[in-house]
């Protein structure tokens, strides 16, 4: 470690994302991307932006066309919408805007591994709340959190969705703190907490175009909340990167919010494949947690999870294994195309014989 590093850089533990192997024939089921491409309208919009020869000009600092399209989709106004470079950036801004050093925030012990990274980066103390034995949320443990709450719904990597009444109880019992619901996978699950925005000024919902809208490569995430919270995020953003997302991302993501038909078709395909995957994996001797996401969280009953992860990798199939004590026996498998899943099943049959 360089002696020139600041205290912040020293105490930061960089997040390690899933491997990105670039062989064309690899079956990549480790980072919960959409196996299908985005709407053709997205590509047309990006091409039109390029044809306009505008890249020497800065993009709109207020991201208005995209905020409009998102607001229209969800029956909100653009003042309810904040946009950033992937929901990871929106999460970072939210930690800066709403969480306070010295006031402990709470998040589930098993959840998105970026939360402790950001907490350390911004010097925010945190308490990891253990989940129930069946991996559901122990909602009361999140009540009256001194500094606020952040949780993914559906949870990652467990894939379990908490019903809105659970989220509402957590909101009601934290009225003086911000509760962030990280809904990266919500489009594959039940209703979004955005339904509660009108009633809860302390609610911030964060979503992404990386999963259901198949735009992981474009890096566009967004937050929804009452305009006062959104204005707080904008204050932070303006002092860091006043132009937010680039012109091509804005053009492409805006088109993705307009093509509703393509969106629902692609989601339904993933959900159908998820249902058959759950069934087949159970037959193959896996315990499968109830999934409301575009991935499943599974425990091989006859083999060590890490060994299986490595054997799959050796055969060109990437899944995710976490070296974390309480989930070491599990694998997270993203839902791919039917063809990719069938290959996975064939390989698993050979490996678990």
* Residue nearer to ligand PMP on the CB measure, 156 or 178: 156
Give yes or no for residue 148 binding ligand PMP (CB under 6 A).
Answer: no
Q: Smallest distance, Å, CB 222 to ligand PMP?
A: 9
Q: How many CA atoms lie within 13 A of 245 on its CB side?
A: 29
- Contacts to ligand PMP from residues 71-90, by CB under 6 A: 86-88
- Contacts to ligand PMP from residues 200-219, by CB under 6 A: 208, 210, 216
* Residue nearer to ligand PMP on the CB measure, 88 or 292: 88
Rounded to a whole number, what is the distance in angstroms from the first to the last CA of the chain? 46
Site string for ligand PMP, 125-144 (x = CB under 6 A): --------------------
| In the complex, residue closest to ligand PMP by CB | 86
Give yes or no for residue 112 binding ligand PMP (CB under 6 A).
Answer: yes
* Residue nearer to ligand PMP on the CB measure, 181 or 348: 181
Site string for ligand PMP, 253-292 (x = CB under 6 A): ----------------------------------------
* Residue nearer to ligand PMP on the CB measure, 202 or 208: 208
Give yes or no for residue 97 binding ligand PMP (CB under 6 A).
Answer: no
Q: Smallest distance, Å, CB 148 to ligand PMP?
A: 16
Q: Smallest distance, Å, CB 255 to ligand PMP?
A: 18
**Cα–Cα distance, 237 to 147 (Å, whole number):** 21
Q: Count interface residues toward ligand PMP (CB under 6 A).
A: 12
Using CB under 6 A, pick the residue from 76, 97, 150, 156 that binds ligand PMP: 156
* Residue nearer to ligand PMP on the CB measure, 208 or 234: 208
* Residue nearer to ligand PMP on the CB measure, 91 or 196: 91
Give yes or no for residue 252 binding ligand PMP (CB under 6 A).
Answer: no
Using CB under 6 A, pick the residue from 105, 150, 184, 331 that binds ligand PMP: 184
Q: Prior bond to 289 cis, omega within 30?
A: no
Give yes or no for residue 119 binding ligand PMP (CB under 6 A).
Answer: no
Sign of CA dihedral 132, 137, 141, 145: positive
- Contacts to ligand PMP from residues 7-66, by CB under 6 A: none
Backbone conformation region of residue 148, classed left if phi is above 0, alpha if psi is from -120 to 50, else beta: left
Give yes or no for residue 182 binding ligand PMP (CB under 6 A).
Answer: yes
Using CB under 6 A, pick the residue from 221, 225, 232, 300 that binds ligand PMP: 221
Residues of this chain that interact with ligand PMP (CB under 6 A) are: 86-88, 112, 152, 156, 182, 184, 208, 210, 216, 221
């Amino acid at each position: 470690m360089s002696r020139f590093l600041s205290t912040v850089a020293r105490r930061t533990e960089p997040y390690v994302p899933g491997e990105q192997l670039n062989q064309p024939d690899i079956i990549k089921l480790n980072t919960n991307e959409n196996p299908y491409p985005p709407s053709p309208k997205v590509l047309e919009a990006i091409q039109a932006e390029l044809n306009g020869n505008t890249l020497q000009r800065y993009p709109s600092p207020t991201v208005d066309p995209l905020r409009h399209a998102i607001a229209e989709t969800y029956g909100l106004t653009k003042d309810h919408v904040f946009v950033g470079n992937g929901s990871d950036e929106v999460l970072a801004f939210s930690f800066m805007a709403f969480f306070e050093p010295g006031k402990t925030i709470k998040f589930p012990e098993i959840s998105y591994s970026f939360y402790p990274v950001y907490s350390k980066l911004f010097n925010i103390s945190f308490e990891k709340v253990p989940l129930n034995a069946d991996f559901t949320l122990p909602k009361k443990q999140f009540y009256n959190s001194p500094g606020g709450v952040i949780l993914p719904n559906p949870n990652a990597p467990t894939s379990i969705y908490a019903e809105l009444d659970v989220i509402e109880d957590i909101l009601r019992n934290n009225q003086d703190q911000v509760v962030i619901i990280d809904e990266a996978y919500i489009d594959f699950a039940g209703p979004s907490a955005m339904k509660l925005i009108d009633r809860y000024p302390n609610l911030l919902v964060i979503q992404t175009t990386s999963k259901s809208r198949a735009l992981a490569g474009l890096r566009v995430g967004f937050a929804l909340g009452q305009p006062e919270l959104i204005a707080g995020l904008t204050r932070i953003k303006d002092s860091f990167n006043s132009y937010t997302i680039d012109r091509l991302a804005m053009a492409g993501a805006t088109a993705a919010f307009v093509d509703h038909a393509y969106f629902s078709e692609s989601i339904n395909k993933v959900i159908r494949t998820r249902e058959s995957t759950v069934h087949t994996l159970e037959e193959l001797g896996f315990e499968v947690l109830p999934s409301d996401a575009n991935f499943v969280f599974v425990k091989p009953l006859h083999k060590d999870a890490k060994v299986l992860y490595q054997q799959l990798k050796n055969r060109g199939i990437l899944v995710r294994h976490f070296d974390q004590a309480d989930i070491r026996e599990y694998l997270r498998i993203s839902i791919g195309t039917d063809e990719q899943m069938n290959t996975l099943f064939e390989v698993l049959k050979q490996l678990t014989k």
